[in-house]
Amino acid sequence: MTDRTLERPPLIAGLAEQWDAIAALVAGLDETGWRTASPLPGWTVFDVVAHVVGTESWLLGEKPPALPDGVEKIDVRTLPHVRNDTAALNEIWVQRLRPRSGAQLLELYREVIDRRRKALAAMDDAQWQAETPSPIGQVSYGRFMRVRLFDCWMHELDIADALGVTVDEGGARAELAFAEFAGSIPRVVVKRGGAPQGSRIAVTLTGPLARELRIQVDGRAAYVESFDGPETVGIRLDSGLFVRLGGGRTAAADHLGEIAITGDAELGRRLVDNLAFTL
């Protein structure tokens, strides 16, 4: 069966809308606003946008710009939040762009995004389906673009949270981003949460991405339409909190009043404490 969340037209449209949403969030910021700390360790709102600029520039075949004269070069691998090669490349772009003003960065962002829109529009189905390296390994270019949509969607939430503003967390592009996010959850509940064989885990999400996720551990963890036995644990929380926990943006211990657990309380608490798989 074809995965409709990987189809080219809706993903390209979702990316375009997502890039516009980020631009709209930061368009009116003064320099103080640009330098507001974000939920990501070591990064400000400026740095989050610089990261998006860097990744999309890299996808256009470009390299990080040279540091301006007088700006000291930093070994990014010594930074505590840089844990792998992808993070190191991300940080290099951020470091190289950081000396600019927020207005200059936004101008560059719009220019890069415009070129990315044109590049995506020019792709054919063969290019969309071709295998390509990505942060999650060798996947189709279309799958990589779903990863990009998820990443940019999460960064919209990061910027909104940093600035203390509310954004629409539902809709078509959020559904596509969530499809990428949700694909990792069965593995996470076993590898990080320690869900034992035979577990039947029901996650009820409220809010803009309301749905029921049923995960059964039978040899491996997988989504199921219905359980073949009684539910082991039920977890109920807002979809926005769920994705922020999975993104490592916050900790369950700070939101216990917003999370309801039924059944095996010990397993449920262990699962919500260990949802983070991306940062």
**Residue 77's CATH number:** 1.20.120.450
Domain co-membership, 12 together with 104:
yes
Q: Give me the pLDDT at residue 1, please.
A: 54
Q: By residue range, what is the domain housing residue 247?
A: 183-273
What is d(CA 231, CA 209) in angstroms, rounded to the nearest whole number? 22
The alpha carbon torsion through 261, 263, 264, 268 (nearest 10 deg) reads -20
What is d(CA 64, CA 133) in angstroms, rounded to the nearest whole number? 19
Q: Give me the pLDDT at residue 207, please.
A: 98
DSSP state of 215: E
Among 210, 260, 272, CA closest to 236 = 260
Domain co-membership, 193 together with 121:
no
- Other C-beta atoms closer than 10 Å to the C-beta of 217 total 18
Domain co-membership, 144 together with 230:
no
Q: Give me the pLDDT at residue 84, please.
A: 73
DSSP lists the bridge partners of residue 58 as none
The secondary structure of 136-191 as a DSSP string is TEEEEHHHHHHHHHHHHHHHHHHHHHHHT------SHHHHHHHHHHHTTHHHHHHH
Q: Which residue has the tokens 């997502």?
A: 18
What is d(CA 262, CA 237) in angstroms, rounded to the nearest whole number? 12
Q: Give me the pLDDT at residue 90, please.
A: 83
Last residue of a domain, one of 167, 192, 207: 167
Q: Residue 173 domain-assigned? A: no
Domain co-membership, 32 together with 124:
yes
Q: Give me the pLDDT at residue 92, please.
A: 86
Q: Give me the pLDDT at residue 279, please.
A: 54
Exposed, middle or buried: residue 171 (CB in 10 Å: 0-12, 13-18, 19+)? middle
State the total domains in the chain: 2
Q: Give me the pLDDT at residue 141, please.
A: 97
pTM across the whole model = 0.94
Successive 10-residue mean pLDDT values, the chain, 279 residues? 86 98 97 97 96 97 84 71 74 91 98 98 96 94 97 98 97 97 97 97 98 96 96 98 97 97 98 90
Among 92, 62, 66, 93, CA closest to 78 = 92
Q: Give me the pLDDT at residue 106, please.
A: 98
Last residue of a domain, one of 108, 141, 167: 167
